[in-house]
Structures are given as C-alpha cells and as structure tokens.
C-alpha cells in the first residue's frame, strides 16, 4: 500500500534527536541545508533518472551520461549554483562521468586545472604572468598511467625531448607499453591532457615532469596530427564505471611549445638548460595528495549508502522464529547480523569524521605551500595515502558485506548494491594501489622510528612515537568490560599496538645488511604496521570529535556508542596484534568482546534512525531494499516485470533454439 511507513515502529524507538544528528553528519547546519535542497532537486527531476542504467548497452549508456552532464551543466548556469551546490549536484546525480572534476572544483575551471593547480601555483611563483591554460581549454584529463606502468611512476616511458632549434618539446610514445592507459575522460571527450613524461634535454634524462598537451581539434573534435586516442574497453559490472571513457593515448613525435611544461620543480630555458628549483621534487606528486583526500571524504558516502540499504532491509526482512502464528523474527535482531552490520554503520560515521579532519589538514598544507613551508608535506602524504587505502578497502569490502547481509535479494540490480560495488571497488586501485600506498606509510613510519634518537621530535599523527619508552612497556591493567569505554584506555591500546608493530619491523629490518632488502623482505609485516597506524588515526579523530560540543538530545551518546563499536570491533578483529604485542591478555580481549556485544544491544533500537540521519533520498539510494518506507516486496515484484526479458511471454530465440530441443525430447520420449 502506497503511503504507509513500514519502518514507523522502528523510527519510534530512537533515543536521540535525528534532525540534530543529520547536522552532525552533514558537518554544519548550512551544509545540511545545501545538501538537503540539492538532493531533492536531483531526485525530483526526471532528467536524472537512473532506472534503466544497468540495462543500457555501452554506447547508449555513454551518450546518456553525456546528456546528463550537459543538462547538469545547464542547471548550474541557469540556477546560478555556487561551487558548493554544484559539487553536491555532482554527488547526487550519482553517475561517474568524464566531467566529474568540474563538479568537484569549480564551475569554470577545467579538470586538468584541478590536478595541476599546485603545479601551476609553483609555476606562477617562478615565472612572470599566469598560465593561460585553464581559460583556453574545454575538457581535460590526467594522463599519468601507461599500459606498462602505473604504480611505478618513475618507470613511465613517454618522452618529452627538448628541441632548442624550435623552442619546442617533442612528445613521443617509443613503445607499446608507453601508451597512456586508463585516464578518465580521455577516450572520447577530453580536448587537453596533463601528460607525465620523461624530460630529455641534450640527450640527458631528467626524469618525470608534467606537460599540458592539446589532444583534439576544438573545431571537429578529431585527434590532432600524430595523436592516436580511443577508449580502453568495457569495465567490470553492468552500467557502473562504464559511463566513463577511460582511454588510451599514443604520441608520434608531437610538438608543443616550451611553455607547456608545468615548471613547478624544474625549468628548461630557451637554450635548453635544465634548472632545478630549490623546492622538493615531491611537489610534482602533490596533485595526487589532493585527489586522495577527496577520495577519503567520499568513502563515508559510499559506505553509508550501502549500510542504509542493509539496515532498513534487515528491519523489514523476517526469517524463522514464528510462534503461535505470530510474526517471524526481524533479521536485524540476530546477533550475527548485528555483529556484521553495526561495525559498518560505526565505520561510516568514523570515516565521515576522519574525512573532515583530513580536509582541514590538506587545507593547512596548501596554505603552507603558498608560504614555501614544505615541512608538513611528508606527513600529509602519509596521512592521505594511508587513509585513502584504509577507507577505500573497508568501504569496498563493506559494500559487498551489505550485499550478503541482504541475502538473495541483495544480488538483484534493483537492490542497488551490485552497481554501487562495481562503481566503488576501483577506488582501491586508482589514485594509487592500496598496498603500494600502505608501503609509503610504512616508509614514513620506519623513517620516524630511525630518527627517534635525534633532535627531531615527532609531531602530528606520529606524536605518539615521542612516548615510545612508555608505550613499549605499559600493560593494560583493568579488568571490567566498562573500562573499555574510556577514551584514554582505547587510545593507549591502539597507540601501544601501532608503536610496537613499527618498532618490531624496524628491528627486523636492522638485521639485514641492506635496509632496502630488509624492507622488501618484511613488506607484508610493514603493511600491517602501517594499517595499525592508520586505524589509530581514525580512532583518535573519532575520539577528538566527541570532545567537541555536540548539541541535540542523545546525539553525543549515540556517537559514543558508535565510537566504542568502531574501536572494539577493530580490537576484536585484530586481536592477534594486540595480544602478540603483549599490551593485553586474552582475558582482557574477551572482556572487550563482552563490552562490544553490550554496545550492539544499545545501538539496536537506534539503528534505523542512525541511517535516516544520512538524509538520503530514495533516488540517491537507488535501491528497492533500502526504500525509506520499507515497502520492499510489492516494489520488487513490480520491478521484475520491467525487465526487458519480460516484454513478451515467449522469448526471442524460442523458435531457433528452444523449440527444436523440445521437439527432439518429445521424439525421444515417443521412441521410448
């Protein structure tokens, strides 16, 4: 029946003010209002329908994305949307597109500028006049990865050879493996690209630098002479990321003016002299830091969406336990369901808060860079790399777990979960493979441990290493379950575990004559130590959030429950680390698990309202199982009939393939 709220009883159980929690989730009252308004605008506009996305063939799907992007662009202009509103529009349209960075950044700059802004910052500081680039081009992409190399940026093969006769660079793809491969927006749309290539002057290779290169004619959109471009082919999942034209690109001695090199860390003069500036070479990599922090901020959105679907459906779905003709048990009441679902709900909140914090850290580093203060770049690199790895791995795994939590119906495209997973899972790979990124964090940790004796004091997220002596010796000395609720106890447990794992790795590396050999041999342990450090960051930022003034009846209490679940779930999952490093005993681990179970019971009556606080429209959720009103079964039944296979009772191919077989069977039966 339309209009009935099948989850109304669940909503009545809430012990906190949901409207206030919506504001905490959004980040501020203003952010909530913008998000609420724009999500409704998208949901009520048939131009943004997603209904048939998983059924369209690739060419139609792609054209449909182009249509939506153009339509959204028109709306932004017609409605005079601010940058913040445009970004929300991009988010709620919920379709990866070539044009994404336009929504992320500004309504008039290009995607290339997004990636290149820090490079351009340095360029502006080292050359007279600004770079005319952003206003000149139409659409851009970021062409770093090649067919043969992605993670190993120093191994890229594309060359940019300076020709002093003409004051130009000659861009060339010398091998098949040097073909640019993967850039989003490259295949069919981009007119320009930031291309990473080896700089060669006077026969000398100066390593990787970035260049701005026009790819297509602004008149007829054809590739310019010497340039070959195409799409790399269909990707994982129906619909999903196939809305994006990830592309391949080859250069055959393409000439570009000298000033199209992004001269952030070095410069080539008119006579071909290579000059290195007095800035760290890593500045070349800072655009990756920018996008990684955006990915961390987006992780909570993807995870909370899956959790919202699985939580609502778990309250609607009933299995077993009916007595005397009464109702069966809601699957959300099974302790196993709770122990799989509630840590994901807690993780969604935890990632939200760590994402907010990382944004502030990133804003701080960009301000420091303007003042030529490079001191925090290594820490920001470690934080963005590590948190990108932690949050995307946990989110991709979490979405898949939510699919399983919805049983068989979770496997239907109409549950929204298969497509959400297919769109999300490449986040574990793009902007840096998650293992490669954890190894970067491990390098930073090993460096930190090796410098502990020096005058350089660890600060920021590694400040805890400053009390190493205490962290190596301390023991958890309380016995009751409720002791595990004290923030100081949780924090010390995570600090001691992270510090001990890093120190153990450093000690083992020191047993090798060559530290690089030791690092390679111990890589699996180092990844675990890096993860322990990143989990400590997430836990500590959640605890910091709770120290703020949080208004609203019961809101802070619910967040305390979620924080406890996040931390104690990790402790339970990684018990081996905590026991192995000797900080807790097995009795204490079991007491922590007791406390975790008690927290699940406290969360249970609030579960539906905690996912309502995400304030997602049914359009954004794109899931029959996650509908706000819980009216699942009639809508699932209705949706099945919309499948193209159900357009006729007798399927295409019946006469060619089914009928002959049926006839053959009839004949055989007759012979018998």
Ligand X SMILES: Cc1cc2nc3c(=O)[nH]c(=O)nc-3n(C[C@H](O)[C@H](O)[C@H](O)COP(=O)(O)OP(=O)(O)OC[C@H]3O[C@@H](n4cnc5c(N)ncnc54)[C@H](O)[C@@H]3O)c2cc1C
For ligand LZY4JE5M, the binding residues (CB under 6 A) are 100-101, 104, 111, 114-115, 142, 144-145, 150-151, 153-154, 184, 282, 285-286, 288-289, 291, 294-295, 298, 377-378, 381, 430-432, 436, 440, 443
Query: For residue 138, what is the DSSP state?
Result: S
435 binds, among ligand X, ligand LZY4JE5M, none (CB under 5 to 8 A by kind): ligand X
539 binds, among ligand LZY4JE5M, ligand X, none (CB under 5 to 8 A by kind): none
Site for ligand X contains 322 (CB under 6 A): no
Catalytic residue among 157, 401, 419, 431: 431
Choose between 259 and 433: whose C-beta lies nearer to ligand X: 433
Within 10 angstroms of residue 507's Cβ, the number of other Cβ atoms is 10
Site for ligand X contains 173 (CB under 6 A): no
Site for ligand X contains 184 (CB under 6 A): yes
**Total residues at the site for ligand X (CB under 6 A)?**
22
632 binds, among ligand X, ligand LZY4JE5M, none (CB under 5 to 8 A by kind): none
Instruction: Report in angstroms how near the CB of residue 95 gets to ligand LZY4JE5M at its nearest.
Output: 12
- The reply to whether 517 belongs to the active site is no
Half-sphere exposure of 659 (CA within 13 A, CB side): 7
Choose between 291 and 449: whose C-beta lies nearer to ligand X: 291
519 binds, among ligand X, ligand LZY4JE5M, none (CB under 5 to 8 A by kind): none
Choose between 160 and 567: whose C-beta lies nearer to ligand LZY4JE5M: 160
Among 187, 432, 626, 630, binds ligand X (CB under 6 A): 432
Query: For residue 222, what is the DSSP state?
Result: P
Instruction: Report in angstroms how near the CB of residue 332 gets to ligand LZY4JE5M at its nearest.
Output: 32
Site for ligand X contains 246 (CB under 6 A): yes
Q: Is 5 helix (H, G, I), strand (E, B) or coil?
A: coil
Contact set for ligand X, span 135-154 (CB under 6 A): 142-145, 149-151
Q: Which residues contact 529 (CB under 8 A, 6 or more apart)?
A: 442, 445, 498, 501, 502, 504, 505
Site for ligand X contains 242 (CB under 6 A): no
Among 410, 418, 426, 518, binds ligand X (CB under 6 A): 426
Among 92, 182, 424, 484, binds ligand X (CB under 6 A): 182
And the tokens for 259? Answer: 């000033």
Instruction: Report in angstroms how near the CB of residue 419 gets to ligand X at its nearest.
Output: 14
Q: Is 230 helix (H, G, I), strand (E, B) or coil?
A: strand
Contact 611, 402 (CB under 8 A): no
Q: Give the Cα separation of 434 and 448 in Å (integer).
A: 21
Q: For the range 291-295, what are the long-range contacts, defined as Cβ-Cβ under 8 Å and sequence gap of 24 or more?
A: 291/115, 291/431, 292/384, 292/385, 292/387, 292/388, 292/431, 292/432, 292/437, 293/355, 293/358, 293/359, 293/361, 293/362, 293/384, 293/388, 294/104, 295/388, 295/391, 295/392, 295/427, 295/431
Q: Give the Cα separation of 112 and 90 in Å (integer).
A: 17
Binding mask 201-240 for ligand X (x = CB under 6 A): ----------------------------------------
Instruction: Report in angstroms how near the CB of residue 592 gets to ligand X at its nearest.
Output: 32
Instruction: Report in angstroms how near the CB of residue 165 gets to ligand LZY4JE5M at its nearest.
Output: 31
Q: Which residues contact 452 (CB under 8 A, 6 or more apart)?
A: 458, 465, 468
Alpha-helical (H) ranges within 55-96 are: 58-78, 83-93
DSSP one-letter string for 372-404? T--TTHHHHHHHHHHHHHHHHHHHHHHHHHHHH
Choose between 178 and 588: whose C-beta lies nearer to ligand LZY4JE5M: 178
Q: Which segment (47-55, 182-190, 378-386, 454-462) binds ligand X by CB under 6 A?
A: 182-190
Q: Tell me the longest C-alpha to C-alpha distance in the chain.
A: 95
288 binds, among ligand LZY4JE5M, ligand X, none (CB under 5 to 8 A by kind): ligand LZY4JE5M
Contact set for ligand X, span 505-524 (CB under 6 A): 523
And the tokens for 451? Answer: 């410098």
Choose between 17 and 525: whose C-beta lies nearer to ligand X: 525
And the tokens for 330? Answer: 């809601």
Among 73, 334, 430, 512, binds ligand X (CB under 6 A): 430
Contact 249, 228 (CB under 8 A): yes
Within 10 angstroms of residue 359's Cβ, the number of other Cβ atoms is 15
And the tokens for 327? Answer: 């109702």
Choose between 151 and 480: whose C-beta lies nearer to ligand X: 151
Instruction: Report in angstroms how near the CB of residue 134 gets to ligand X at its nearest.
Output: 18
How long a stretch of residues is the chain? 672
The two beta strands, 266-268 and 274-276, are antiparallel
And the tokens for 313? Answer: 């459906």
Choose between 395 and 581: whose C-beta lies nearer to ligand LZY4JE5M: 395
Q: Which segment (59-67, 118-126, 426-434, 634-642) binds ligand X by CB under 6 A?
A: 426-434
Half-sphere exposure of 347 (CA within 13 A, CB side): 30
Choose between 150 and 626: whose C-beta lies nearer to ligand X: 150
Instruction: Report in angstroms how near the CB of residue 610 gets to ligand X at its nearest.
Output: 31
Catalytic residue list: 431
Which residues of this protein are in contact with ligand X, per CB under 6 A? 142-145, 149-151, 182-184, 241, 246, 426, 429-433, 435-436, 439, 523
């Amino acid at each position: 029946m339309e209009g009935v709220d099948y989850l109304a009883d669940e909503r009545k159980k809430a012990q906190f003010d949901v409207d206030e929690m919506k504001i905490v989730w959004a980040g501020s009252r203003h952010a909530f209002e913008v998000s609420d308004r724009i999500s409704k605008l998208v949901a009520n506009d048939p131009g943004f329908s997603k209904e048939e996305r998983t059924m369209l063939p690739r060419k139609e799907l792609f054209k449909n994305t182009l249509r939506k992007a153009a339509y959204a662009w028109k709306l932004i202009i017609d409605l005079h949307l601010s940058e913040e509103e445009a970004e929300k529009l991009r988010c709620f349209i919920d379709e990866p597109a070539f044009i994404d960075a336009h929504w992320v950044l500004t309504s008039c700059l290009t995607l290339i500028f997004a990636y290149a802004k820090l490079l351009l910052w340095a360029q502006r500081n080292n050359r007279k006049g600004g770079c005319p680039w952003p206003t000149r081009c139409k659409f851009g992409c970021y062409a770093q990865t090649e067919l043969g190399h992605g993670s190993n940026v120093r191994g890229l093969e594309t060359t940019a050879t300076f020709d002093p006769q003409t004051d130009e660079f000659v861009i060339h793809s010398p091998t098949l493996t040097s073909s640019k491969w993967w850039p989003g927006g490259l295949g069919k749309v981009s007119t320009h690209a930031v291309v990473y290539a080896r700089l060669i002057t006077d026969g000398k290779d100066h390593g990787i630098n970035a260049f701005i290169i026009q790819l297509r004619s602004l008149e007829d959109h054809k590739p310019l002479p010497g340039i070959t471009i195409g799409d790399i082919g269909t990707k994982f999942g129906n619909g999903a990321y196939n809305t994006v034209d990830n592309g391949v690109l080859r250069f055959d001695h393409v000439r570009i003016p000298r000033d199209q090199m992004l001269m952030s860390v070095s410069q080539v003069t008119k006579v071909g002299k290579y000059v290195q500036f007095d800035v760290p070479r890593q500045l070349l990599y800072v655009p990756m830091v920018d996008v990684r922090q955006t990915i961390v901020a987006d992780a909570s959105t993807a995870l909370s969406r899956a959790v919202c679907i699985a939580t609502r459906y778990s309250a609607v779905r009933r299995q077993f336990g009916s007595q005397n003709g009464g109702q069966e048990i809601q699957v959300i009441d099974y302790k196993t369901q709770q122990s799989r679902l509630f840590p994901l709900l807690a993780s969604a909140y935890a990632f939200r808060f760590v994402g907010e914090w990382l944004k502030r850290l990133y804003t701080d580093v960009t301000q420091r860079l303007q003042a030529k203060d490079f001191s925090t770049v290594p820490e920001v690199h470690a934080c963005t790399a590590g948190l990108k790895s932690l949050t995307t791995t946990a989110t991709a795994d979490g979405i898949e777990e939510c699919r399983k939590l919805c049983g068989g119906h979770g496997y239907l495209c109409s549950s929204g979960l298969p497509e959400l997973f297919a769109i999300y899972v490449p986040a574990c790979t793009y902007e840096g493979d998650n293992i490669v990124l954890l190894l970067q964090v491990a390098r930073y940790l090993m460096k930190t441990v090796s410098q502990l004796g020096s005058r350089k004091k660890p600060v920021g997220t590694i400040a805890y290493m400053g009390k190493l002596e205490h962290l190596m010796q301390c023991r958890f000395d309380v016995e009751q379950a409720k002791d595990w609720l004290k923030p100081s106890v949780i924090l010390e447990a995570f600090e001691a575990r992270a510090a001990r794992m890093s120190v153990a790795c450093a000690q083992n590396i020191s047993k090798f004559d060559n530290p690089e050999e030791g690092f390679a041999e111990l890589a699996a342990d180092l990844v675990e130590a890096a993860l322990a450090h990143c989990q400590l960051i997430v836990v500590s930022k959640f605890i910091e959030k709770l120290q703020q003034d949080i208004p609203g009846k019961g809101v802070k209490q619910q967040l305390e429950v979620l924080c406890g679940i996040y931390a104690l779930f990790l402790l339970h999952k990684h018990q081996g680390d905590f026991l192995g490093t000797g900080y807790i005993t097995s009795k204490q681990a079991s007491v922590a698990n007791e406390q975790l179970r008690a927290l699940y019971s406290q969360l249970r009556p609030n579960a539906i309202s905690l996912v309502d606080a995400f304030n997602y429209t049914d359009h954004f959720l794109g899931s029959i199982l996650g509908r706000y009103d819980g009216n699942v079964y009639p809508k699932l039944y209705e949706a099945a009939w919309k499948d193209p296979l159900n357009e006729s009772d007798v399927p295409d191919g019946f006469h060619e393939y089914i009928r002959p077989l049926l006839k053959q069977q009839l004949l055989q039966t007759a012979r018998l």
